[in-house]
């Protein structure tokens, strides 16, 4: 397994739309394993393949306290949305920025697991936020896109300054 480099905002590759996975083979399972290792090492509670410059509909999530309950979502679709919540979000592609985003409180999502088996699950609170955040990544959307133009401009300038310093 390997830790993968995470794209940093405002890298234009974060705005590419991910394609559905046609066949869940050993390559996809290796991608899932590498994404999980990358997420746990970051550390984060979610990661979309888009963030590691692989434009396929693959998400890994683990919101457990014990960090040992990996959820893999391949070709995910949200089938129901209910209620509203507004919590501070972060993003591994936008380090040290936390801002509130309005999301559905509860969702139902259908996906394939890493063995290609179809499943559905209900999620609420942080898990629901995380799934919606990661599915935005697959659509080529970053959470700062929900913020005001002024905030987004300031975040972009801060990210570019940090990247220039570390280059």
Q: Taking CB under 5 A as the rule, which mask of x and - marks residues 90-129 in contact with Zn ion?
A: -x--------------------------------------
Rounded Cα distance, 147 and 80, in Å:
24
Q: Which residues of 44-56 are buried (b: 16+ CB within 10 A; e: fewer)?
A: bbbbbbbbbeebb
Which helix or strand (DSSP H or E) is residue 85 part of?
Answer: strand 85-89
By CB under 6 A, tell whether 93 contacts ligand K2U: yes
By CB under 6 A, tell whether 76 contacts ligand K2U: no
The site that binds ligand K2U (CB under 6 A) totals a number of residues, namely 15
28, 114, 128, 129: residue in contact with ligand K2U (rule CB under 6 A): 129
> CB atoms < 10 A from the CB of 149, how many?
7
Rounded Cα distance, 28 and 64, in Å:
24
Stretch that binds ligand K2U, among 64-72, 113-121, 125-133, 147-155 (CB under 6 A): 125-133
Catalytically annotated residues: 134
Contacts to ligand K2U by CB under 6 A: 44-48, 89-93, 129-130, 133-134, 137
């Amino acid at each position: 397994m390997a830790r993968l480099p995470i794209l940093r905002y405002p890298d234009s590759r974060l705005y590419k739309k991910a394609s559905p996975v046609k066949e869940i083979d050993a390559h996809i399972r290796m991608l899932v394993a590498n994404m999980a290792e990358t997420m746990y090492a970051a550390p984060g509670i979610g990661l979309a393949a888009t963030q590691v410059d692989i434009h396929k509909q693959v998400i890994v999530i683990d919101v457990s306290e014990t960090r040992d309950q990996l959820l893999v979502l391949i070709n995910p679709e949200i089938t129901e949305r209910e209620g509203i919540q507004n919590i501070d979000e972060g993003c591994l592609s936008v380090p040290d920025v936390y801002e509130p985003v309005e999301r559905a409180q509860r969702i139902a999502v259908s996906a394939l697991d890493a063995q290609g088996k179809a499943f559905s699950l209900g999620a609420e609170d942080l898990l629901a936020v995380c799934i919606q955040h990661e599915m935005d990544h697959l659509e080529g959307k970053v959470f700062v896109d929900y913020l005001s133009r002024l905030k987004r401009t300031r975040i972009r300038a801060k990210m570019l300054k940090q990247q220039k310093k570390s280059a």
